[in-house]
Amino acid sequence: MTAHVDTFARDHLPPPDQWPELVFDLPELQFPAELNCAHELLDRWVDEGHGDRLCVQGQGVRWTYADLQAQANRIGRVLVEDLGLVPGNRVLLRGPNSPMLAACWFGVVKAGGIAVGSMPLLRAKELVQIVHKAEISHALCDIRLADELALAGPQCPTLVHVLHFMTERDGGLEARAAGKPAQFDAVRTAADDTCLMAFTSGTTGAPKATLHFHRDVMAACACWPRHVLRPTADDVFIGSPPLAFTFGLGGLLLFPLSVGASTVLVERPAPDALPAAIARYRATTLVTSPTAYRAMAGQLATHDLSSLRQCVSAGEALPAATRQLWKDASGIEIIDGIGSTELLHIFISHDEAHARPGATGTVVPGYRACVLDDDGRPLPPGQVGRLAIKGPTGCRYLADDRQRQYVSGGWNLTGDAYLQTEDGYFVYQARTDDMIISGGYNIAGPEVEAALLLHPAVAECGVVGVPDDERGQVVKAFVVLRAGHAGDAAMAKALQDFTKQAIAPYKYPRAVEFRDALPRTETGKLQRFRLRSQG
């Protein structure tokens, strides 16, 4: 059974023998054959009489569940009635986080379309790659990002319909939506119809698109939020990851709506602006990256953050020093979690009561995790190997041979080197291809970074292996100092000595270079490959 008229996504799923094994062994993971996640997450609240509850806020906008539903319905009608959308078509969504972008997501998914998010900073060349790969037919684009998409246009023959929003202009999305009735029934999609294509934030090669079903969205809502974060309907979510990144889509839109809570979608959620936004909206639940926690820790005293109750970190490893820094500044124990675009959201994490500095946490209910050796055999506790995950969600790349690299023997291999402790905590080491091999030793850059971050002069740092004739590689640290410290030879020596005291001396950075900033992706990840090439 499928509701898709356009079967592109189904036709380009990986062959069944290359899928990960899926496990649905919790009662809340039993899904009906027919399922539309937009209906479940949005319409259900209105149907059950909660239409008046606050749902989404942003620049000048304060929408209830009924308001978001009405706007999503009108957008769904514009797509279907004016732009000929049929179920299964791919719709590019572009814009900084905003209530309108959220309404577009729900409009597309209610109409049976496939939402394809795109990071706001993407350039025409990257947009062309996405449009080609996903054979995108429609785009809904924030007017402020119109130029780059227009540049891509001539090279995108499949992209026939582009509408802009955040504009009062005639023919713009808002104007067209205003002319439509606010009722629109969700298309009765199959649980395994694709509703979301998420491109990976990968650093090399052609972009990969992951396919996620309506069922996957509901499974993600049923696992980490329900068992670990445990939000209430009165929570107010806020944070930085873009909705085009599944960390942001889940953490700032799907999860709050899954419990009837509300979310604040901030257009410019930089660390210098977030604390003021938390205070202004009385947010309770902050979702952001380790870097942002480090950058914000110093500014908390000047804002009223008394509303804040929970803080979530993902995207990169959370160093113990950052956990402590934030706890000292805010009184709140961060909830760390590792997720991936391929698995949709978080699969290893912990709640506030079970935080263990330096460890990511334990496996999230609904998932299974283990550490495998290079031949796919499970390793005993304490040994470093490849992290392997199974659960109700899993990797399905759109027409991509790299499926075989991510999925092996039924397991999703995330590309991370981890060890598991006797009592089931998973301790991050490095990306498997980022392990530094120096003088015969395996050294994990993030461990050296975590040690350096304990030094009071260090604001940010990145540690990579750089080529060395004698040792193969040597450990090199790129360090951003806090204001008032000079990056001179004496500081380099002090940091080297400090590291030798904190961790095994052979891991200390033999080379130290001071920088004003470190290269990062739009998802907040340190770009180690750039540091290596600059090393």
Residue with smallest beta-carbon separation from ligand 3UK: 339
Q: Does 420 bind ligand 3UK (CB under 6 A)?
A: no
Q: Does 395 bind ligand 3UK (CB under 6 A)?
A: no
User: Least distance (Å) from ligand 3UK to the CB of residue 176?
Assistant: 32
Q: Is the Cβ of residue 174 or residue 342 nearer to ligand 3UK in the bound state?
A: 342
Determine the 3-state secondary structure of 256 from DSSP.
helix
Give the span between the Cα atoms of 142 and 150, in whole angstroms: 12
Q: Is the Cβ of residue 155 or residue 527 nearer to ligand 3UK in the bound state?
A: 527
- For residues 62, 242, 426, 208, the Cα torsion angle rounded to the nearest 10 degrees is 140
Give the span between the Cα atoms of 350 and 334, in whole angstroms: 9
User: Least distance (Å) from ligand 3UK to the CB of residue 31?
Assistant: 21
Q: Which of 189, 414, 438, 473 binds ligand 3UK (CB under 6 A)?
A: 414
Options 16-24, 320-328, 409-417, 492-500: segment touching ligand 3UK (CB under 6 A): 409-417
Q: Does 43 bind ligand 3UK (CB under 6 A)?
A: no
**Interface of this chain with ligand 3UK, residues 255 to 314, rule: CB under 6 A:** 314
**410 Cβ partners below 8 Å, 6+ apart?**
20, 21, 390
Q: Does 247 bind ligand 3UK (CB under 6 A)?
A: yes
C-alpha angle 162-164-169 in degrees, rounded to nearest 5: 125
Are 139 and 92 in contact by the 8 Å Cβ rule? The answer is yes
Give the span between the Cα atoms of 191 and 323, in whole angstroms: 39
Q: Does 20 bind ligand 3UK (CB under 6 A)?
A: no
Residue 76 C-beta-side C-alpha neighbours within 13 Å: 28
Structure tokens at 46: 């209105």
Binding mask 347-366 for ligand 3UK (x = CB under 6 A): -------------x------
Q: Does 315 bind ligand 3UK (CB under 6 A)?
A: yes
Are 474 and 456 in contact by the 8 Å Cβ rule? The answer is no
Q: Which of 240, 291, 340, 473 binds ligand 3UK (CB under 6 A)?
A: 340
Options 24-32, 337-345, 450-458, 473-481: segment touching ligand 3UK (CB under 6 A): 337-345
Which strands make up the sheet holding 511-514, listed edge to edge?
Answer: 458-468, 472-481, 511-514
What are the CB-based long-range contacts (under 8 Å, 24+) for 350-355?
350/228, 351/228, 351/229, 351/230, 352/310, 355/323
Q: Which of 99, 256, 339, 392 binds ligand 3UK (CB under 6 A)?
A: 339
Q: Is the Cβ of residue 162 or residue 317 nearer to ligand 3UK in the bound state?
A: 317
- Contacts with ligand 3UK by CB under 6 A lie at 200-201, 246-247, 314-318, 336-341, 345-346, 360, 414-416, 428, 431, 523
